[in-house]
A and B are shown apart, each in its own frame.
Chain A
Amino acid sequence: MSSHSNAIVAHKHPSDVEGAKIAMWLFLFTEVLLFGGLFILYAVYRYQYSLDFHLAATELNASLGAINTVVLLTSSLTVALSIEALRRGNRKLSLWMLFITIVCALTFMVIKYFEWSAKIHHGIYPGSETLLTASSGEIVFYNLYYAMTGLHGIHVLIGMGVLGGMFYFIARKPINKEAINYDVVERIRGGSRMAVLADDGRELGDVINIDDKVERVEIKVIYENTPEKFDPRNEIKLENSGLYWHIVDVIWIFLFPLFYLII
């Protein structure tokens, strides 16, 4: 049974791994250009208000920024290990690594929450009275700080959601529903019967006539939940999720020195 159904799965979904990956990379380029616009804004204002940027940056907690950098780099490692483990068929290790990645993402957001809370507590947030009395360079610095780390934070949250979804996909008993498309149903209508054949040709279970009343044929394939057998399409899904997560990491690699380490 399993070999037959697998063949159908492969046939109905000629798994275009390369195509899926190219699509993901194209999306990542739009992400790079999205943040790139903000980085250009940052660069121009830092050029114009270098002293104000320096003063404003001393308010930020460089230690927390550094810890968050290490947290994100580590999460990048674990998601890469998770992909490698899944590729080698080690589902358990893959899930553990994915779990650590999600915990790192959560840690990052908790630290970010404390950083932002401290700033807001001191009255430093876009449009606050304290900030409006500051120099225009400092106002620009903090507006950019909130905009860029905020947008990055949203990406971390989305990444957490995506990786959480992947955890579910890999952990659950894989079920594939495969629908035979309308053209095929039309061609086999009338004179066709559908049955499951054993290797020796015996028909197993119910035999279904594909007559005029049949509109759609759905085949449900349930894989056994063992380390060796899992939905092979999870690999490319996890790989693309990993690519997204790495981009989130790369953006932080630039945000950290540009906001926290200005002398």
Chain B
Amino acid sequence: MHQPTHTHADDHAGGYGIYLKVWLGLIVFTGITVAAAGVDLNSAGLTIALALLIASVKTALVVYFFMHIKYEHLLFKLMLAVCAITFVIFIGLTFFDIAYR
């Protein structure tokens, strides 16, 4: 049939299997998040950092595979980077302010 929607994403060979594996990884990381929250790391900062680190890894999995960033043009990756860096600057500057009041 006529197929006008050929994109980069059509080139990948992953298929259904890769999505199932990613999902399994996400579930495992959710388990780790819950388990890690029960561990007393003697530092609230460390606990938050660990939770955020795991959440970031999960996000990376979703964005990279489920949202097809892996198969997109460089432009998409750059746009994503600009958004992420903007957000990190916001958070960074906010805490630069809060921490030294």
Contact = CB atoms under 8 A, between A and B. Distances in A.
A114 B36 CA distance: 26
A249 B76 contact: no
A53 to B, nearest CB: 9
A29 B27 CA distance: 25
A257 B1 contact: no
Interface string A5-28: 010011000110110011001100
Contacts of A232: 1-5
Contacts of B26: 73, 76
Interface in B48-99: 48, 51-52, 54-55, 58-59, 62-63, 65-68, 72-73, 75-76, 79-80, 83, 86-87, 90-91, 94-95, 98-99
B67 A246 contact: yes
A234 to B, nearest CB: 9
B5 A29 contact: no
Given A44-B94, A50-B44, A77-B23, A257 B67 contact: no
Interface stretch (A32-40, A145-153, A209-217): A32-40
Contacts of B5: 15, 17, 232-233, 235-236
A46 B34 CA distance: 19
A105 B98 CA distance: 38
Nearest to B87: A36
A62 interface: yes
Interface string A48-91: 10100010000000100010011001101101110010010100
* Residues of B contacting A: mostly: helix
Interface residues of A, number: 59
Interface residues of B, number: 53
Given A73-B26, A257-B55, A263 B37 contact: yes
Contact of B66 (A3, A70, A80, A256): A80
Contacts, number: 133
A50 B34 CA distance: 19
B16 A15 contact: no
Contact of B30 (A50, A69, A254): A69
A27 to B, nearest CB: 11
Nearest to B80: A25
Nearest to B65: A80
A253 B91 contact: no
Contacts of A25: 76, 79-80
B33 to A, nearest CB: 5
Contacts of B90: 36, 40
9 contacts: A10-B2, A14-B4, A17-B5, A25-B80, A43-B95, A73-B27, A76-B26, A77-B20, A81-B16
Given A89-B1, A246-B62, A246-B63, 17 more contacts: A18-B73, A22-B76, A32-B83, A33-B83, A43-B91, A44-B94, A44-B98, A47-B98, A48-B98, A70-B27, A73-B26, A80-B65, A84-B16, A246-B66, A253-B55, A258-B51, A261-B34
